[in-house]
Amino acid sequence: MKKIFTKYSIFFLIIGLGILIFFTAKVIMPLALDVAKSGLFLKESKEEASQMPVSTPLTGLAFKQCNDYIKSELDPETSVTFPDKPINAWSLGGYQYVINAEISVTGAEGTSSKKYACRITYDNGDDQEGVNDLDNWSIDGLSGLDDLL
């Protein structure tokens, strides 16, 4: 029996791979596509996505929360001046936002201007009661300030 497997091992390997590819293509992938189409992972919210920059009360709060997060992460010796409003703000839907802004940083090296992008999510969804509390927001990503933070 051992000689048969040794002699035909490459043949059994090819047959096994063929069965695996066939099973994946004919059983697993159609099942995965049906689950993806079903809406099982769809999250309904009142907030709509926008491909164009928008200015809403929630984008303003998202901008404020991003700025508060940046302040909390900076070295105490670094002084930062934030603008009144972001350069652009986008709503991704589902209470997720991307904020693009520019700040003025004064530190040991002098004063410089830095642009950043912040992706932030309001965790409570349609419940707007805790919208001013930083604990109800999640910073999903921050770029452009890697040398400061």
CA distance readout (Å), 103 to 70, 109, 132, 143: 10, 16, 22, 13
Rounded Cα distance between 99 and 121, Å, is: 11
Tens of pLDDT, residue by residue over 25-67, are: 999 999 988 888 877 666 665 666 666 667 777 888 888 988 8
Q: What is the mean pLDDT of the chain?
A: 82
**Inside any domain, residue 43:** no
Q: Model-level pTM greater than 0.75?
A: no
Residues 15 and 69 in one domain: no
* Residue 46 lies inside a defined structural domain of this protein: no
Q: What are phi and psi of 10, to 5 degrees?
A: -65, -35
pLDDT of residue 42: 62
Do 70 and 7 share a structural domain? no
| Residue 130's CATH number | 3.10.450
Instruction: Identify the domain containing residue 21 by its residue range.
Output: 2-37
Give residue 119's pLDDT band: very low, low, confident or very high (50, 70, 90). very high
Total structural domains within the chain: 2
**Is residue 32 located within the same domain as residue 61?**
no
Q: Is residue 45 part of a domain?
A: no
The answer on pLDDT for 24 being more than 90 is yes
Which residue would you say has higher pLDDT here, 133 or 114? 114
Q: Is residue 119 part of a domain?
A: yes
* 63, part of any domain: yes
